[in-house]
Structure 1
Amino acid sequence: MKTLRSRPPHDTLQTALRSAFPVDARRLVVFTALILAVIQARTVVLYSLKTHVALPGSLTTRYQRLCRFVQFPFPEVLFPRFALSFLPPGPVDLILDRTNWKLGQQDVNILLLSAVWNGFSLPLMWTLLPHGGASRSCVREALVERFLKLCPRSGDLVPARGS
């Protein structure tokens, strides 16, 4: 008698990603492995992820592969549509958050638009700011407007209160 086994998370995620991200199969393999590694390692630092990512090769080879992958530009519309497709129907709370840190002497300043669901923040779109410190309201408004043009469920989105 055959026993029913569930599909490994890698296969399930790759199937979901394939329908939303029309990319080369090799990039899709790296993308899937990268997402699962980020979840497992709880970091987005590529150098740390090389030990968690389920890809063949040495640690150096994996790191180089990850570095090449993140240089590949994805069409902006793919991320928010894919992320929102997993949320239940109905209103979605949006939050804007900014993070800033130094990489050597370089400021890294990111303004991030996220959807909130069950206490989890799901990144949708972001803007890299060319300076350290706070963002101007026109920059925040432009990010939200850019998102609303791409979002198929814009009528269901509401700003989160108290954020």
Structure 2
Amino acid sequence: MSRLPDALAATLARHTDLSNDRRLTLAVLILGFVQARTVNLTHLAGAFCGPAKLSSNYRRLQRFFQYVRFDADWLARTLVALARLAPPYELILDRTNRKIGARDVNLLVLAVVTRRARLPVLWEVLDRGGGSTMAQCMALIGRFVALFGEGSIKLLTADREFDGNQWFEFLVENDIPFAIRVSACLHLRLADGFRGTLGRLACTPTGRRRLRTAGGCFAGMDQRFDTALRFGVVNRAEDPIIVATNRNPRKAISAYKGRWQIECLFAETKTRGFNMEDTRLTNPAKLSLLLALVAIAMAWSLACASALIGRSDIPRAKHGFRRKSCFRTGFDALRQWITYQPDIAVQTWQRIWRRRTNPDHRTIRVV
């Protein structure tokens, strides 16, 4: 076990320009996240080998978060490579927030999801509580397209928080397929002449058919987008589910159901995995670095799941659902390997980093 951090750090030498000491600290942090199931630096200070005092190790971790920064573009490409995610990508946009004392910890996250895996690739630490702005959402999607190219997005899903005329115009204009839930109180205009709220049509079979078939747009959108949107509806008396899309509205409803995966992702970064809520960090740059390290640990766990089960399905219980998620399958196996079979853990770590065939040494900087 004492040689495991050294083995991980040696692999990182080709991919970072950090000093040996900071590469070792990076390896200890990721191992600590997995083994201790916490990101609290006080708990992780005991993960270093050697005679140094706990207080010295704790200060070493603090200095790492104070001075080390990842390049966000390099990190996004790296995470996609580590998890072996192939384009075009299904994306989910959502926000998670909590309070540390009087401070808001508010993260806008763009995640890539597959049938098995879900992984954050781009995010922004918001400087306030409450929802994100349209400009922030557009900037995040714009960064993704700039990194992975036009046509790299198979579908973008999001909840009702992410609406607005400028936002929908941006998605349509850039031909980004989306399935986004919208509020029934929004006003729209249809090509067949209807003017009014979505809720007025969503409550009748005829109205739902008009929403599916007649192109339309929201009130206030430019005339260029008059027939750009269609709407899928699941009628519920208390709160109908209305999904706006620029593709097939029937498929949009089914696709929107997959949005729940990002809630599972947030749970895996918290109580089901790394317990990110244990941190007391509030500085945006440090929080962004923390999520980057957690994302790398998640990619390692997913690789362990693939090594363990291959292409076979995860066993299901009598109720039909999988007994464990792909992440937890790999995460639990990785924790056991680190303790009892470190060679397997190291081999999996080395294998996922070999996928980065053109390492860029200007990726991690010290400030």
TM-score normalised by the shorter chain: which range applies?
0.7 to 0.9
Which range is displaced more, 115-124 or 74-83? 115-124
User: Aligned AA for 2:78?
Assistant: F
Taking CA–CA contacts closer than 8 Å with sequence separation of 6 or more, which of the two structures ends up with the larger relative contact order?
Answer: 2
Q: How does 1:136-147 map to 2 (within 5 A)?
A: 136-147=133-144
Identity %: 33
Aligned partners of 1:82 and 1:9: how far apart in 2? 22
Summarize the Cα distance change of 1:23–1:155 in structure 2 as closer, same or farther, 3 Å threshold.
Answer: farther
Query: Is the counterpart of residue 28 in structure 1 residue 23 in structure 2?
Result: yes
Report whether the alignment pairs 1:37 with 2:32: yes
Q: TM-score, normalised on structure 2?
A: 0.38
Instruction: Give 1:123 deviation, angstroms.
Output: 2.5
Q: 1:90 aligns with which of 62, 68, 86?
A: 86
Is this contact kept in 1: 2:106–2:125, CA < 8 A? Answer: yes
Alpha-carbon contact 1:100-1:108 (below 8 Å) kept: yes
Moved over 6 A (4+): none
Query: Which of the numbers 85, 110, 117 marks the counterpart of 2:107?
Result: 110
**Does the CA contact (< 8 Å) of 1:50 and 1:62 recur in 2?**
yes
SS in 2 for 1:73: strand
Asked whether 1:133 is paired with 2:127, we answer no
Q: Is the 8 A contact 1:20 1:78 kept in 2?
A: no
CA distance in 2, matches of 1:156, 1:9: 37
How far residue 134 of structure 1 moved from its aligned partner, in angstroms, is 1.6
The number of residues matched between the two structures is 154
1:44 partner amino acid: V
Q: 2:58 aligns with which of 58, 63, 68?
A: 63
Consecutive unaligned residues in structure 1, runs of 5 or more: 1-7
1:85 counterpart letter in structure 2 = A
Aligned to 2:48: 54
Q: When you count strand as a share of all residues, which structure comes out higher?
A: 1
Larger Rg: 2
Letter in 1 for 2:92: I
Residue 148 of structure 1: how far off its partner (Å): 3.0
Equivalent of 1:78, from 69, 74, 77? 74
Unmatched segments (≥5 aa) in structure 2: 158-254, 260-367
Q: Once superposed, what is the RMSD of the aligned Cα atoms? A: 2.6
Give me the TM-score of the superposition, normalised by structure 1.
Answer: 0.77
